[in-house]
Amino acid sequence: GVTISANSWTNAGHAVNQIYDLLYMMGRDDIAVGVGGEGGIFPNSTILPNVGGYLPIIEQVTFYFLL
C-alpha cells in the first residue's frame, strides 16, 4: 500500500488524484486507488473496526475505443 502524508505541497484529495494519474501512466490500472475509512485509533489505544478501510473515490474502468 501507499501512505500519503498531506502537507503544504499537496492536500489529501489532490495527492490521491496524482497517485492515480501516475499509476495510470504506468499502465497499472489494476491497482485500486482510494482513501481510508472513517475509523481511527483513540489515544487509549482503542482501534475502531473500520480503521484503514478502503473507500474507492475514482471509478476505475477500462475503456475500449473502436476505430
Q: C-alpha cell of 8?
A: 503544504
Question: Which range marks the domain in which residue 56 is found?
Answer: 1-67
pLDDT digits (tens, 9 = 90+) for 6-49: 666 777 777 778 888 888 899 887 777 766 655 566 778 776 66
The whole-model pTM stands at 0.45
The predicted pLDDT at position 16 comes to 78
Domains contained in the chain, number: 1
User: How many C-beta atoms surround the C-beta of residue 33 within 10 A?
Assistant: 20
